Amino acid sequence: MLDFLNTLPGALALGLIWSVMAIGVYITYKVLNIADLTVDGSFVTGGIVAAVLITGGMNFILALLIATLAGAVCGLITGLIHTLLGIPAILAGILTQMALWSINLVISSGKSNIAVSVYSNTVIFSQGLVGDALWKGALIIGLIVAILYIFFGTELGASIRATGNNQDMARAQGINTKMNIVLGLMISNALVALSGALLAQYQGFADINMGKGAIVIGLCAVVIGTAIMSKISQNFLVRLLGCAVGGLIYYIIFQAVVFLGLDTNLLKMLAAVIVIVFLGVPYLQKTYGAKIKKHLDNRKIAKGGDQK
């Protein structure tokens, strides 16, 4: 048990880093109502851009900013493919993700793995100093949540929420829905790339494969977070924080499962199963819950048992 507790800070630090990407996924999946698969690619783009720049001697804050902007560009590409060419959002995301695989390799000059050593580079945090990573990660999450909360309270932010909610209504109210979708995708992927850039520094390397299944982990955090936090409040701030909480819970579960000795090759399947359960159970409850309850009630009545 003590061993498990010892690994917890590390899990929490990873959870915080992935929470940044979960918030990005939340913006597309919940706010814009789009399942955006670009993230598997833009996550890597963020990691690789940061790794290349930092090992090239750039200041890590500047490198993080540039990696974030690179993510925004990835979102821009998906957005334009979707809105200008009329390709469904999910396919547009897959296409960009595909293209990013090559682009990421070009950025890393063909290397599939770039080491960001803490000994020869200055990085924001690393897994050698978990406490450091924890407070910095929490601070970053706090900043992002605050900025997003303020942004979605402005006229522009509200119009993006309306776009995701009801496009017919948004257009009838003079909102440029196409522009808003592109903007939302850019913000989302910027956060995802930031998350990738943070992870590359934390784990000490960027890998061309580090984004595989990232969308599922992001979705996992979002669905866990919303399921828990929506019980507390429907407030937008609470829901954003919920993504962070979801990310943390995901990594605690992850750590617990590893500790219990599950084959790590099965972890991706576990993530997929969590998403399926969290999305599927509410649906089953909605469609069959009432029917089953009625059926059971009828049985009770038929037995003459519970007739008060």
Partner 1 sequence: MIELKNITKTFNPGTVNEHKAIDNLNLVLNEGDFVTIIGSNGAGKSTLLNIISGSIDADTGYILLNGTNVANLSEHRRAPYFGHVFQDPMKGTATDMTVIENLALARGRGKKRSIFRWSISGKDKAYYEEKLKSLGLGLESRLYQKVGLLSGGQRQAITLLMATISQKPSFSQIRKDYVKFNPARRDEAKEEVERVYHEQKEIYKNAVKEIVKNHKLNSSEKSHKIKEAYKAFDTKMREYDVTKPVLLLDEHTAALDPKTAAKVLEITERIVREQHLTTIMITHNMNDAIKYGNRLIMMSKGKITVDVSGEEKKKLTISNLLDMFSSASDNDVLSDSAILG
In the complex, minimum distance from the CB of residue 174 to partner 1, in angstroms, rounded to a whole number: 3
Q: Are 238 and 246 in contact (CB under 8 A)?
A: no
Among the listed residues 59, 102, 117, 165, the single contact to partner 1 using CB under 8 A: 165
Among the listed residues 90, 131, 151, 268, the single contact to partner 1 using CB under 8 A: 151
Tell me the one-letter amino acid at 199: L
**Smaller CB distance to partner 1: residue 134 or 162?**
162
Q: Does 260 bind partner 1 (CB under 8 A)?
A: no
3-state DSSP of 210-237: CCCCHHHHHHHHHHHHHHHHHHHCCCHH
Among the listed residues 147, 158, 228, 232, the single contact to partner 1 using CB under 8 A: 158
How many residues make up the chain in this entry? Answer: 308
In the complex, minimum distance from the CB of residue 24 to partner 1, in angstroms, rounded to a whole number: 19
Pick out residues in 177-206 that bind partner 1 (CB under 8 A): 177
CA-to-CA distance for 84 and 77, rounded, in angstroms? 10
Q: Does 169 bind partner 1 (CB under 8 A)?
A: yes
Size of residue set near partner 1 by CB under 8 A: 23
Q: Which two tokens stand for residue 262?
A: 């599950």
Choose the binding region for partner 1 from 20-28, 174-182, 211-219, 268-276 (rule: CB under 8 A).
174-182
Q: Does 156 bind partner 1 (CB under 8 A)?
A: yes
Cβ neighbour number for residue 297 with a 10 Å cutoff:
11
**Smaller CB distance to partner 1: residue 82 or 136?**
82
Q: Which two tokens stand for residue 146?
A: 């605050």
In the complex, minimum distance from the CB of residue 239 to partner 1, in angstroms, rounded to a whole number: 11
The phi, psi pair for 147, rounded to 5°, reads: -60, -45
Site string for partner 1, 15-54 (x = CB under 8 A): ----------------------------------------
Q: 3-state DSSP call for residue 109?
A: coil
Question: What Å distances lie between residue 106 and 48, 66, 103, 111, 154, CA to CA?
Answer: 10, 16, 5, 8, 38
Q: Does 174 bind partner 1 (CB under 8 A)?
A: yes
Burial annotation 105-140 (CB, 10 A radius, 16+ → b, else e): eebbeeeeebebeeeebebbbbbeebeebbebbeeb
Choose the binding region for partner 1 from 84-92, 100-108, 169-177, 219-227 (rule: CB under 8 A).
169-177
Q: Does 235 bind partner 1 (CB under 8 A)?
A: no
In the complex, minimum distance from the CB of residue 171 to partner 1, in angstroms, rounded to a whole number: 5
Interface residues with partner 1 (CB under 8 A) are: 151, 153-159, 161-162, 165-166, 168-177, 234
